[in-house]
């Protein structure tokens, strides 16, 4: 709004409100302008521009940009057009309309971005906005929303250490329970991605213990707890949490519901109940393919690999590994690393040492410091001897 621009120019000149309007009009009039309660006419802007020693065009251009950005964002809310929100943000940057920059970024974050490059572009916009906010001695009401937006973007980009730090920083603030619960659940989800299931479990439980937490967030917490309990060896609790989440999301968010069905299939596969697992996996696969969701379909491929491996159909398991890697297209190094670990196990059984070693080296390169944790968690039915062999390789 033009009022905030006038206020910043006034403060930069070292003027009080009274000094700026002395002899022009009442101080309460300027106060209402600066608070956005009054939009001043051009005549008033001309008087203020003279006192502020800035060109009138600085203020009129600002107002024109704000009006255009407002129209663009109205369209963005209806169409989710990335090009329009990018145009709106660029206009805001030109005149340093910080409030409108914040508004643009928050609307931008609500759009489903199709690739990593566009998430990077969003992160750059967020960081530029936060930088400009930091140059001003002001409190912005959307500050927490913007910081949460940055943390979420870190998560989507796989910058998990930065995401964890950002969520933990927000967690320390005095926030309403609903927002605090969302932050704790997001932090738990990020910790799951880093394979720190114990810490994730604690955060998700903390979220559930918050008073007046909306049912949608409670369901998300149960979904995450289902994942944690599986890796913590609590199969029945994992199933119970997953079922609770599924009951809610069936009619509220079908995409999440399908991911929960995927998870339930994993639980039944852990128990070697191939028929029940296949039922859940079939529903998930149909949905992923219909919606061109390559990463979830690649994640499902790992479970198909596991099923074929358990059945002793190693050539089929290897072919599914290749299919999963094709779907990934470099999107998830951790999952690609798991596929190569499976291939290493397969080639070891097929007595192809050269290929076994190539697969092992690929897994090491992709997984890096997460290699041992991945080996520990990738297959609850992995024989102890197989794990020992992997550990020996790590030590080499």
Is 374 inside any structural domain? Answer: yes
pLDDT at 188: 98
The H-or-E segment that residue 149 falls in is helix 143-156
pLDDT at 37: 83
Is 315 inside any structural domain? Answer: yes
Is 326 inside any structural domain? Answer: yes
pLDDT surpassing 80 at residue 5: no
The predicted model gives 67-76 an average pLDDT of 94
The predicted model gives 37-46 an average pLDDT of 81
CA 351, 353, 359, 364 torsion-angle sign? positive
> How far is 203 from 25, CA to CA, in rounded Å?
56
**pLDDT tens-place string over residues 314-325:** 999 999 999 999
Structure tokens at 62: 């600002």
The predicted model gives 53-79 an average pLDDT of 89
> How far is 106 from 108, CA to CA, in rounded Å?
5
pLDDT surpassing 90 at residue 60: no
CA 66 to chain centre: 29
Structure tokens at 29: 């009039």
Structure tokens at 321: 């590994």
Q: How many CB atoms lie within 10 A of CB 203?
A: 25
pLDDT at 327: 95
Average pLDDT, the chain: 92
The predicted model gives 139-148 an average pLDDT of 89
Structure tokens at 376: 């520990």
pLDDT surpassing 60 at residue 290: yes
Is 256 inside any structural domain? Answer: no
> How far is 129 from 139, CA to CA, in rounded Å?
14
Query: Is residue 99 a contact partner of residue 130, using CB atoms and an 8 Å limit?
Result: no
The H-or-E segment that residue 346 falls in is helix 333-349
pLDDT surpassing 90 at residue 309: yes
Query: Is residue 92 a contact partner of residue 65, using CB atoms and an 8 Å limit?
Result: yes
**pLDDT tens-place string over residues 161-216:** 999 999 999 999 999 999 999 999 999 999 999 989 999 999 999 999 999 999 99
> How far is 298 from 342, CA to CA, in rounded Å?
14
* 115 — pLDDT class (breaks 50, 70, 90): confident
**pLDDT tens-place string over residues 223-237:** 999 999 999 999 999
Structure tokens at 13: 């000149």
The H-or-E segment that residue 78 falls in is helix 56-79
**Which one has a higher pLDDT value, 362 or 96?**
362
Is 327 inside any structural domain? Answer: yes
Comparing CA positions, the residue from 277, 205, 275, 211 lying closest to residue 237 is: 205
Q: How many CB atoms lie within 10 A of CB 70?
A: 12
- 318-350: b (≥16 Cβ within 10 Å) or e: bebbebbbebbeeebeebbbbbbbbbbbbbbee
Structure tokens at 256: 């999440």
182 CB contacts (<8 Å, ≥6 apart)?
148, 217
pLDDT at 396: 56
Burial degree of 280 (CB within 10 A; 0-12, 13-18, 19+):
buried
165 CB contacts (<8 Å, ≥6 apart)?
none
> How far is 155 from 162, CA to CA, in rounded Å?
8
Structure tokens at 191: 């910790």
Going by the DSSP 8-state scheme, the letter that residue 368 receives in this structure is: G
> How far is 84 from 333, CA to CA, in rounded Å?
32
Query: How many domains does the structure of the chain reveal?
Result: 1
pTM: 0.82
315 CB contacts (<8 Å, ≥6 apart)?
350
- Of the chain, the percentage scoring pLDDT greater than 90 comes to 73
Is 342 inside any structural domain? Answer: yes
Domain encompassing residue 354: 293-396
pLDDT at 133: 87
Comparing CA positions, the residue from 253, 223, 257, 215 lying closest to residue 241 is: 223
pLDDT surpassing 60 at residue 137: yes
**pLDDT tens-place string over residues 355-385:** 999 999 999 999 999 999 999 999 999 999 9
Q: How many separate helices (H) and strands (E) can be counted in the chain?
A: 22, 0
Residue 345's CATH number: 1.25.40
The predicted model gives 321-332 an average pLDDT of 91
Query: Is residue 275 a contact partner of residue 307, using CB atoms and an 8 Å limit?
Result: no
Is 181 inside any structural domain? Answer: no
**pLDDT tens-place string over residues 238-285:** 999 999 999 999 999 999 999 999 999 999 999 999 999 999 999 999
CA 388 to chain centre: 36
Structure tokens at 272: 């070697």
> How far is 249 from 223, CA to CA, in rounded Å?
10
Is 222 inside any structural domain? Answer: no
């Amino acid at each position: 709004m033009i009022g905030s621009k006038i206020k910043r120019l006034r403060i930069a000149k070292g003027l009080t409100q009274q000094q700026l309007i002395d002899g022009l009009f009442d101080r309460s009039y300027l106060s209402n302008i600066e608070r956005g309660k009054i939009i001043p006419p051009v005549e008033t802007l001309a008087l203020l521009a003279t006192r502020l020693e800035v060109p009138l065009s600085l203020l009129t251009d600002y107002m024109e940009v704000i009006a255009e950005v407002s129209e663009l964002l109205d369209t963005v809310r209806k169409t989710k057009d990335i090009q329009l929100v990018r145009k709106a943000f660029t206009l805001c940057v030109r005149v340093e309309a910080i409030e409108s920059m914040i508004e643009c970024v928050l609307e931008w974050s609500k759009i489903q971005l199709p690739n990593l490059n566009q998430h990077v572009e969003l992160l750059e916009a967020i960081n530029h906005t936060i930088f400009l906010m930091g140059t001003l001695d002001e409190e912005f009401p959307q500050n927490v929303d913007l910081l949460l937006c940055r943390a979420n973007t870190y998560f989507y980009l796989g910058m998990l250490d930065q995401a964890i730090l950002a969520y933990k920083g927000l967690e320390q603030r005095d926030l309403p329970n609903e927002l605090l619960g969302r932050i704790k659940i997001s932090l738990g989800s990020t910790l799951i991605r880093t394979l720190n299931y114990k810490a994730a479990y604690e955060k998700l439980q903390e979220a559930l213990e918050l008073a007046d937490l909306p049912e949608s967030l409670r369901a998300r917490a149960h979904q995450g707890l289902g994942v944690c309990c599986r890796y913590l060896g609590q199969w029945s609790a994992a199933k119970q949490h997953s079922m609770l989440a599924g009951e809610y999301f069936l009619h509220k968010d079908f995409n999440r519901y399908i991911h929960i069905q995927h998870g339930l299939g994993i639980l039944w596969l852990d128990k070697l109940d191939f028929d029940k697992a296949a039922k859940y996996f079939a529903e998930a696969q149909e949905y992923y393919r219909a919606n061109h969701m390559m990463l979830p379909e690649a994640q499902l491929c790992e479970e198909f690999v596991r099923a074929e491996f358990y059945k002793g159909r190693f050539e089929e398991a290897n072919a599914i590994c290749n299919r999963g890697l094709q779907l990934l297209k470099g999107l998830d190094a951790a999952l690609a690393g798991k596929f190569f670990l499976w291939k290493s196990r397969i080639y070891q059984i097929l007595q192809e040492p050269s290929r076994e070693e190539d697969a092992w080296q690929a897994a090491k390169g992709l997984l890096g410091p997460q290699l041992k944790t991945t080996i520990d968690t990738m297959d609850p039915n992995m024989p102890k001897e197989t794990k020992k062999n992997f550990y020996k390789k790590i030590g080499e």
